[in-house]
Amino acid sequence: MEGKEGNRNPRALIILRGLPGAGKSTLAEVLAAEEDVKISIDDFFTDPVSGKYQFDHRTNHLAYRHCEERVKKAMGDNRPRIFCHNVFSRTEEMAPYLTLAKEAGYRVFVVTVENYHGGGNRHEISEEQVQKMRDKYKLSL
């Protein structure tokens, strides 16, 4: 199927959503080619040198803004595929990315990732917190 650009590989924003531990980051690693970009809110809290993750709820709003800005920049750089992998427990959380994609002419695919592999989350989020996320998680349709 040809995209608007007339090629067989149109630019795409692939939103990977799911609960912590579902495998969103791992799936982005598996699917992304070298020229693609992988972006997550977790990037904001991860030290680029040490790789240490240090979440701070007081700056969570800045992490969301940072993620959106990075997606916008990747689109401006005409990256072929952008994998944005966040919890996105409510569909409204995807709205800014859908707007960016529409403005930049990117196709959008939303993939819900579920934990069938039995792995835990990378950031040691408590089961109580994951359950709260699970309770508010809504499917798009």
CA distances (Å), 53 to each of 37, 41, 57, 91, in order? 20, 11, 13, 26
What's residue 3's pLDDT?
Answer: 45
Domain CATH for 60: 3.40.50.300
User: In terms of residue numbers, what domain contains 128?
Assistant: 12-136
Burial label, 23 (beta-carbon count in 10 A; 0-12, 13-18, 19+): buried
Q: In this structure, how many other beta carbons lie within 10 angstroms of the beta carbon of residue 81? A: 21
Domain annotation covers residue 141? no
Q: Indicate the number of domains in the chain.
A: 1
What's residue 38's pLDDT?
Answer: 97
Domain annotation covers residue 6? no
What's residue 125's pLDDT?
Answer: 66
Q: How far apart are CA 63 and CA 37, in angstroms?
A: 17
Tally of CA atoms within 13 A in the half-sphere of 67 that contains its CB: 26
- Positions in the chain whose pLDDT score sits under 50: 1-5
What's residue 9's pLDDT?
Answer: 61
Work out whether the CA dihedral 123, 129, 134, 140 comes out positive or negative: negative
What's residue 102's pLDDT?
Answer: 97
What's the whole-model pTM score?
Answer: 0.81
What's residue 1's pLDDT?
Answer: 40
What's residue 19's pLDDT?
Answer: 85
What's residue 122's pLDDT?
Answer: 65
